[in-house]
Amino acid sequence: PSFDTIIRGGTVATAADTFACDIGIRDGLIAALGRDLGDADRVIDATGLLVLPGGIDSHVHFAQPSGPGIVMADGFESGTRSAAFGGNTTVLPFCVQQKGQTLREALKAYHAEAHGQCYVDVSFHLVIADPTDQVLGQELPALVEDGYTSFKVFMTYEGMALSDMEMLQVMSVARRTGALVMIHAENFDAIRFLVDKLEREGHVAPRYHAVSRPIPVEREATHRAISLAELVDVPIMIVHVSNGEAMEEIRRAQAKGLKVYGETCPQYLVLTEKDLEGLNMEGAKYVCSPPPRDKDSQEACWRGLETGVFSVFSSDHCPFRYDDPAGKLNPKSRTSFRWVPNGIPGVAARLPILFSEGVSKGRIDLNRFVALSATNHAKTYGLYPRKGTIAIGSDADIAIWDPERRRTLTHDLLKDGSDYTPYEGIEITGWPVVTMVRGRIVVQDGELVGEKGFGAYLAREKSPYAAPRREF
Ligand code: URP
Ligand code: ZN
Ligand code: ZN
Ligand code: ZN
């Protein structure tokens, strides 16, 4: 036979086009697009289905040390399994440097965690928590050349927050090396001030997490991050944008011609701060940073997706178990929201939510869905055109979707290591029925058929999106 697999009769969509065509796959690559491709060892009938580039989730957290006694609910096995169930073929988790640790030490630990465990392909962003002279001068530039072409910095969190001076230093390394800086934009001192004040007043329930990080905290940090990047003339990605005011900062920068990119996530489209008000400790299930806001913020985030201010839509999957002393309900969590681990699971729910709320409800078209779910992630982070599109020569990373399939989101559909989903009960129209990584089926009709360890580590290219404008 000419091909290992032919996907026949489907409607193919890329970020640009929608067309009826068959796909011939050979040696893990897309080898032909057309009609009457001949024979193959296996034919997948995609009649009535959509054939899309596999999802790329460029913002997930797996196996991250999360403080004394706290255990993240997903390592690389369950995290990449859940990703595959949600129609994803590549994920980009973070390799987090601890204070006092070198980047290479951190990478060694994460590679050891990931090795032989993954169902889908994986690449790492670095988190720079300790930008010593050695890190900035030697390690980071060398690691960019090795294929770690993006790094995240935090403007908040104890032990993670960088000063403005350190942010500028990291940005200038990124400019010099052609890497992309991702920024968690919240004002650390403002949060500390508000947390102390709320605790003194006895406001310690999970809902006060949202009160301690209101919109101005995020808007100010977003503005500051953009200003610092403008000083250095370096492209940046503002991650997990939760509201219209922070989004307007990004829009304004883009209108000035700055290479400032934005990301939003499902929690900012379908959750609100009201969810943090659940009975007893239920609100802890929704504690993440930035917190979900209100209906107006949801609408603003949709506008950001519709108009292109946000180029990527990621899950920020950061899973903890709820009913677990190593998770949300750890012994200290009842004494203050301060001790509730930040983050929620969502790697499998991301694309069904965007498809259903976005495409099925007519807010975005199918091509924008593909751009937001896959293509723009690949382009932004140096994986394109190997990943993120359906084109001859690209990896055969494909998600076949049934646009009519209805589901009610429940945790057991998502196959992650947590014990709940914050999206429980959401009605979905449109579901991924086959997830294929490099020509191999990983999930089919709700069954895991992939092989643990087939998921590969990807060294990444420098992205054209990260190239400075060279104005100076
Ligand atoms: O609350 C969140 N988002 N936790 C994950 C870590 C991060 O800041 O992305
Ligand atoms: Zn390995
Ligand atoms: Zn963050
Ligand atoms: Zn995150």
Q: What is the mean pLDDT of residues 253-280?
A: 97
* Ligand 1 in reach of 343 Cβ (< 6 A): yes
pLDDT at 258 over 80: yes
Whether the per-residue pLDDT at 470 is higher than 90: the answer is: no
Query: Does ligand 1 come within 6 angstroms of the Cβ of 213?
Result: no
| pLDDT value at residue 125 | 98
Q: Which is the closest atom of ligand 1 to the Cα of 157?
A: 8
Rounded to an integer, the average pLDDT of 260-265 is: 99
Smallest Cα–Cα separation from 67: which of 102, 96, 91, 92?
96
Residue 472's pLDDT is 56
Q: What is the pLDDT of residue 329?
A: 98
* pLDDT bracket for residue 471 (50, 70, 90): low
Ligand located closest to 343 CA: 1
In DSSP notation, 204-217 reads -STHHHHHTS-HHH
Pocket lining: 316 vs ligand 1, CB cutoff 6 Å: yes
Centre of ligand 1 from the C-alpha of residue 61, in Å: 8
**Percent of the chain clearing pLDDT 90 (strictly above):** 98
pTM of the model: 0.98
- Per-residue pLDDT tens over the stretch 368-387: 999 999 999 999 999 999 99
Q: Is 246 in the pocket of ligand 1 (CB under 6 A)?
A: no
288-332 confidence digits (pLDDT tens):
999 999 999 999 999 999 999 999 999 999 999 999 999 999 999
What is the pLDDT at residue 469? Answer: 85
Ligand 1 pocket: which of 342, 344, 347, 418 to mutate (most atoms within 8 A of CB):
342
pLDDT at 279: 84
pLDDT tens digits along 329-360 = 999 999 999 999 999 999 999 999 999 999 99
User: Which residue has tokens 């026949």?
Assistant: 8
SS3 81: helix
Distance between CA 8 and CA 22 in Å, rounded?
Answer: 5
- DSSP, residue by residue, 127-196: E-S---HHIIIIIHHHHHHTT--EEEEESSSTTTBPPHHHHHHHHHHHHHHT-EEEEE---HHHHHHHHH
Q: What is the mean pLDDT of residues 248-275?
A: 98
Distance from Cα 343 to the centre of ligand 1, integer Å: 5
Indicate the average pLDDT of the chain.
98
**Mean pLDDT of the 412-436 span:** 98
Q: Is 184 in the pocket of ligand 1 (CB under 6 A)?
A: yes
What pLDDT shows up at residue 63?
98
On whether the CB atoms of residues 393 and 34 are closer than 8 A, the answer is no
pLDDT, tens only, 171-220: 999 999 999 999 999 999 999 999 999 999 999 999 999 999 999 999 99
Q: Is the CB of 44 under 6 A from ligand 1?
A: no
pLDDT at 417 over 70: yes
The residue-averaged pLDDT of 107-134 equals 98
pLDDT reported for residue 457 = 98
Residue 312 is inside which H or E element, if any? strand 310-313
Residues 83-96 pLDDT 10s: 999 999 999 999 99
Check residue 199 and report its DSSP letter: H
